[in-house]
Amino acid sequence: MNHATRRGNATFGVLLVLIGVSIAILNAVAFHPGAGTQWTKRTEHVHTLEDGSDVRWTEHEAVSVKEGREMAALQQDAAPLLSRTAGLWGAAILTLCIFSFLLGDNPLYKAAEAIVVGASAAYWMVIGFWETIVPNLFAGLFPDWTRANFMPKLSAEASVDFLLLIPLALSVLLLLRLAPKIGWISRWPTAFIIGVFCGLRFISSLEADFLSQIGPTIKPLIVMGENGFDLESSFSNIVLVLGTLVCLVYFFFSVEHKGAVGKVARSGIWMLMITFGAAFGYTVMGRIALLAGRFEFLFDDWLWLIDPKDAHPAQVFLQTIAPMLT
Amino acid sequence: MYEFLRDLDRRVIFSLMALAVAVPILLQITPPEKATPIVRDAFETIEALEEGDRVYMAFDFDPASAGELQPMATAFVRHACEKKLKIYFTALWPVGPQFIKNAERDVISRDFPEMVYGEDYVDLGFKTGNEGVIKLVANDLRTQYPQDARGTPIDDIPMMAGVASIRDFDVIMNVSAGYPGTKEWVQYAVASAPDDIKLVAGCTGVQAPLLYPYYPQQMSGLLAAIKGAAEYESLVLGKYGRENEPGMYQEGLRRMAPQLSGHILMVGLIFVGNLVYFMARKRGEA
């Protein structure tokens, strides 16, 4: 693909996003007023501290547009929330940016890709700090300080666990990788991690994927049911047993794959190909489900063209198309 | 015709697939589903439980696979609520807690408001460590989860009384998008006590062929991809369906119409692609 074609495709991609956003804005203004808004029910909370001072905060609980409008009509505190509405529009626009890659690599796709990667990395860091370092390390080594600053519900009986100094030391050693001169020290904690997981996996794989699989593979080739010969189960068992055997023969390289062994090994390849085909079929199913999920988000939450969850007041697409179908 | 098909722009194929998926969604077509034995077994495993039995609900997935797995998670939670089971939510994926919150908000608070946090359901939150966590909770859950996601010590949570390890649960219900997920639950939990631990799982399509060998010995039932979700939804709706059923309980069923049209298109494209290949070979172009 030459430079001009690539540039043309990129322009198409950017145009797709811009057209999509323009249509959505037109839709939200002219056809479905308010489309793409997110409503919340607001609740004010007040908590009195030990020193008598009050701490106030507002809780925004997501409600559907329909529920929100009904609450607003009853003078309850529900209204569209700008930050969540912006979030929904952002999600929709980023979806279009990602789709635009199908027409060609373009700056909007690159931006969306960078946002996904950056947001994921930041999320992992925050979660890692609050869900791992604070409760697993700080709470064990400095319980009083952690209770005072991070975890007020931490038990007052929690004592210092000096064993946690070992994982702390290993973590610090792992970070030495960032220092080129002494980076080799990080191999020690890495070796520890690999050793532990090899041991864990060896036992579990042997039990779950080898020993436990032997029994279910030994099946009767002729199954007799309540009404006599059971053709379906018999066929299923024959395919299972023969399939296992021919695949095992294919992976048996101590004997040259010639003659009868070669023919059996070849049927093993066929069996593997069928397995890969089934896996590919499932993958296709998964990808279509994901695409359908994104389309449903765009048509339902963003554009209000459909309303399967009875969440907002518009079903105009169906109402428009129904007379044409009948 | 041959030249047209041979030189077909890939963007035409993308557009056809977009139409094949979008049109059934816009028309809101919901084809009927009949449950296969592997899904029915999953359903029956939950059906066989008594009121107050404990289920360990592990949400091991993220937004990238929510299109496939959210319908299963919703159906699992709804089924457990209908059966009045005690639900213990956990996650081995960092974004799993968000889906637990969604389940609390969309299913429990909305349709089962009588359920009380700490007595009928509890959120134990995310725990880092992948299969290490599974290995540990198989023997000692209380050390791994000294408190719930809200920071409450588990000794202060009524429904945690009598829970020491994963063996104290009647069923593990796992929704899995990959590693760590169902495979690890089989390897580290079920393998440690195959007679004591029952596992029912929902997984992505990519994982399904790898998990089928575990059924029925090591896994009581499996919901494979969106098809499994739709079948499970049809069973739950058949047993507990109400008038004006909320649309979120039919998410999997709704996604089967785009599946059908998308697959028909895919099969057609594979056929046409092969036809073009053989024609090219016949003409000496391939």
B246 shares its domain with B269: no
**pLDDT tens-digit map of A272-281:** 999 999 999 9
* Better-scored residue on pLDDT, B247 or A269: A269
Measured in Å, how far apart are chain A's first and last C-alpha atoms? 47
* DSSP structure class, residue B117: B
Q: For residue B86, report the phi and psi dihedrals to the nearest 5 degrees.
A: -85, 125
Residue-range definition of the domain harbouring residue B22? 2-27+259-282
Measured CA to CA, the distance from residue A215 to residue A219 in angstroms comes to 8
Helix (H, G, I), strand (E, B) or coil at A308: coil
Tell me the average pLDDT of chain B: 93
Q: What pLDDT score was predicted for residue A96?
A: 95
DSSP string, B210-262: HHGGGTTTT-SEEEEHHHHHHHHHHHHHHHH--TT--GGGGHHHHTHHHHHHH
Helix and strand numbers, DSSP H then E, in chain A: 12, 5
Average pLDDT of span A250-262: 91
B102 shares its domain with B20: no
**pLDDT tens-digit map of A160-218:** 999 999 999 999 999 999 998 999 999 999 999 999 989 988 988 998 999 989 988 88
**pLDDT tens-digit map of B192-240:** 888 889 999 999 999 999 999 999 899 999 999 999 999 999 999 999 9
B209 shares its domain with B271: no
- CB-based contact (8 Å) between B37 and chain A? no
DSSP string, A103-134: T---HHHHHHHHHHHHHHHHHHHHHIIIIIII
Would B44 be classed as within a structural domain?
A: yes
Q: Say what the ipTM of the complex is.
A: 0.90
- CB-based contact (8 Å) between B28 and chain A? yes
Q: What pLDDT score was predicted for residue B229?
A: 96
- CB-based contact (8 Å) between B31 and chain A? no
B22 shares its domain with B148: no
Nearest chain A CA: its distance from B15 CA (Å): 10
B149 shares its domain with B232: yes
B111 shares its domain with B10: no
B158 shares its domain with B269: no
* Better-scored residue on pLDDT, B28 or B53: B53
Q: What pLDDT score was predicted for residue A53?
A: 84
Q: What pLDDT score was predicted for residue A263?
A: 94
**pLDDT tens-digit map of B155-166:** 999 999 999 999
Domain count, chain B: 2
Tell me if B68 and A290 make a contact (CB, 8 A cut-off): yes
**pLDDT tens-digit map of A282-308:** 999 999 999 999 999 999 999 999 988
| CATH number of the domain within which B133 lies | 3.40.50
B196 shares its domain with B97: yes
B104 shares its domain with B167: yes
Average pLDDT of span A118-128: 92
Q: What pLDDT score was predicted for residue B246?
A: 76
pTM: 0.89
Q: What is the layout of strands, in order, in the sheet containing B199-203?
A: B121-126, B86-91, B54-60, B171-176, B199-203, B221-224
B222 shares its domain with B241: yes
| Chain B residues closer than 8 Å to A299 by CB | 22, 25-26
**pLDDT tens-digit map of B62-119:** 998 998 999 999 999 999 999 999 999 999 999 999 999 999 988 999 899 999 999 9
Spatial CA neighbour of A90 closest among A189, A164, A21: A21
pLDDT band, residue A1 (cuts 50/70/90): low
Q: Is the pLDDT of residue B244 over 80?
A: no
Both tokens of residue B214? 């575990």
Closest residue of chain B to A61, computed from CA coordinates = B105
Tell me if B22 and A290 make a contact (CB, 8 A cut-off): no
- By the 10 Å C-beta count (0-12 exposed, 13-18 middle, 19+ buried), A194 is classed as exposed
Measured CA to CA, the distance from residue B202 to residue B229 in angstroms comes to 8
Tell me if A288 and B263 make a contact (CB, 8 A cut-off): yes
**pLDDT tens-digit map of A44-78:** 888 887 788 888 888 888 888 888 888 888 888 88
B198 shares its domain with B271: no
H-type helices in A150-230, by residue range?
165-175, 187-205, 212-217
CB-defined contacts A:B, below 8 A: 163
**Across the interface, which of A212, A295, A310 has its CB nearest the CB of B21?**
A295
**Across the interface, which of A136, A275, A310 has its CB nearest the CB of B247?**
A310
Would B117 be classed as within a structural domain?
A: yes
